Structure 1
Amino acid sequence: MKNESKIKKSIGESSAKWSNMFYIASLLMLSIYQYVKTSVLGTEFILLIIGLVIFFITYFIKSKGIANNNKN
């Protein structure tokens, strides 16, 4: 049972990673297209930046938590 849940967790993490990469790439391409066409950064760029900020904040919080758990 433990191995099965670890495998499902691994699959879920991999799926989340790839879908996140897709959204980042899509929003980046759409932002570049919008900027070239209108010389204005649209809401796509704001969504991209907000998503990246959330990603890095959670990444640093989780990595800090893992580092603190390894010290104990």
Structure 2
Amino acid sequence: MRLFVSDGAPGNLPVLAAACRAGARDKLLISTVGPEECVVPFLTRPKLPALKLDSGHYLFSSSAICRIQSLW
């Protein structure tokens, strides 16, 4: 899985805290991108943080990302 974050994005802190708490360092690649970079291909505007799952699907809600990380 790959987590996309940007400096200063409001949802970064809870997502990164959940990843650290879940011990997901070996399962998760964290990439820092620019605030205007569109990483979710089907959205017309940038939305960060975003989590790309192994299946190719994306989660771009901070609360959804935190919830899925608690399952690891």
TM superposition score normalised by structure 1: 0.29
The structure whose residues are more often strand, as a share, is: 2
Greater RCO between the two (CA within 8 Å, min separation 6)? 2
Structure with larger Rg: 1
Greater helix share, 1 or 2?
1
